[in-house]
Amino acid sequence: MTRVFSGIKPTGHLTLGNYLGAMRQWAAVDQHRADALFCVVDLHALTVHHDPARVRRLSRQAATLLLASGLDPALCTLFVQSHVDEHARLSYLLECVATDGEMRRMIQYKEKAAREQRRGGSVRLSLLTYPVLMAADILAYGTDEVPVGHDQTQHVELARDLAVRFNQRYGHTFVVPRATNPSVAARVMNLQDPLSKMGKSDDTGPGIVYLLDEPDVARKKVMRAVTDSGRDVVYDRESRPGVANLLEILAACSGGNPEALAGVYESYGDLKRDAAEAVVEVLRPVRERHGELCADPGYVEGVLREGAERARGMARPTVDAAYRAIGLLPAG
């Protein structure tokens, strides 16, 4: 059976981008067709300036929202990264396979390092090595496929490269994974700045729809989205990024396709109204279920405990094999 692994960082409140680009496919498709693991990757949240209490709170919230969006512990394994030591153990071995140059070429590193500096902070070394830990997350489980939004494709490529290099040097140890992306909404853009990705750790609140926004708040954000000059509704990401983003969001939420939908609308106003309603309707069941789950924190904790146990059992043999292959003396 295909092994699928993917994760989400507790760096902020989860967004419509996270949902349409990743979480929704995990629940609707991946957990049914594959042996799937989904992870709240909390160690990755420590790579940028963070508040310990907030990371803890957001980790619990992310796990709850993953369950609220339909992940079923009877079908998949849901767990928290720091509960399974194998990720950090394997990461060090992969640091001995990756190169400094490779890390510095990562687009996300350049973007996030610049942001940390803009915010007046220093750049943590872990931000540079982040993609290696992510490779460890993936390779520890013999993962075949990593369903992610477009922004993570470069990191999955790196995981591939490291798997191939390790296997060539030290003997076959890792499955070589590949990224998969959803066909629409693999890159939801910020509603106030449609040239930038909607990201949960960004500062521009009005351009980001959060999964837990009240319906009225979400509706207003979509209605106030920046559109482009010109008035006819066409789907063109290059010349009309704002309108293209709304068409993609509407298509992803209502099941259509963005080109066809462009032909249906005569004004930006109508497009925004329908996109706003579609977003509210898609998020409604997630918010409701989240409310129910919050009333039962013991359930979420139990899911995470069992998930971590299962994950540990899956990761340990692979990571132990990597320790032997690379030349470390077994403890006996």
Residue 304 or 322 with smaller CB distance to ligand ATP: 304
17 labelled binding-site residue? yes
- What's the CA gap between 212 and 219, in Å, rounded? 12
Residue 199 or 258 with smaller CB distance to ligand ATP: 199
143 labelled binding-site residue? no
Q: Closest-CB residue for ligand ATP?
A: 21
Residue among 14, 1, 6 nearest 208 (CA): 14
Residue among 91, 4, 102, 103 nearest 44 (CA): 91
Q: How far is the CB of 9 from ligand ATP (least distance, A)?
A: 4
Residue among 193, 143, 114, 117 nearest 39 (CA): 143
Residue 107 or 294 with smaller CB distance to ligand ATP: 107
Decide if 23 contacts 8 (C-beta within 8 A). Answer: yes
Q: Is 197 a catalytic residue?
A: yes
Q: Is 272 a catalytic residue?
A: no
Please identify which of the residues 197, 220, 221, 272 carries the catalytic annotation: 197
263 labelled binding-site residue? no
256 labelled binding-site residue? no
Handedness of CA 312, 81, 137, 123 (dihedral sign): negative
- Structure token digits, residue 99: 């190169």
Pairs from 315-320 (Cβ < 8 Å, separation ≥ 24): 315/84, 315/86, 315/87, 315/90, 315/140, 315/141, 316/86, 318/86, 318/90, 318/139, 318/140, 318/141, 318/142, 318/173, 318/174, 319/86, 319/89, 319/90, 319/140
Q: How far is the CB of 216 from ligand ATP (least distance, A)?
A: 22
- What's the CA gap between 217 and 212, in Å, rounded? 10
Note the residues at the interface with ligand ATP (CB under 6 A): 8-9, 11-12, 15, 17-18, 21-22, 148-149, 151-152, 186-188, 197-201
21 labelled binding-site residue? no
Q: How far is the CB of 150 from ligand ATP (least distance, A)?
A: 7
Please identify which of the residues 200, 220, 221, 272 carries the catalytic annotation: 200
Q: How far is the CB of 179 from ligand ATP (least distance, A)?
A: 9
Residue 11 or 77 with smaller CB distance to ligand ATP: 11
- Residues that constitute the known binding site for ATP: 9-11, 17-18, 149-151, 188, 197-201
Active site residues per annotation: 112, 197, 200
Q: Which residues belong to the annotated binding site?
A: 9-11, 17-18, 137, 149-151, 188, 197-201
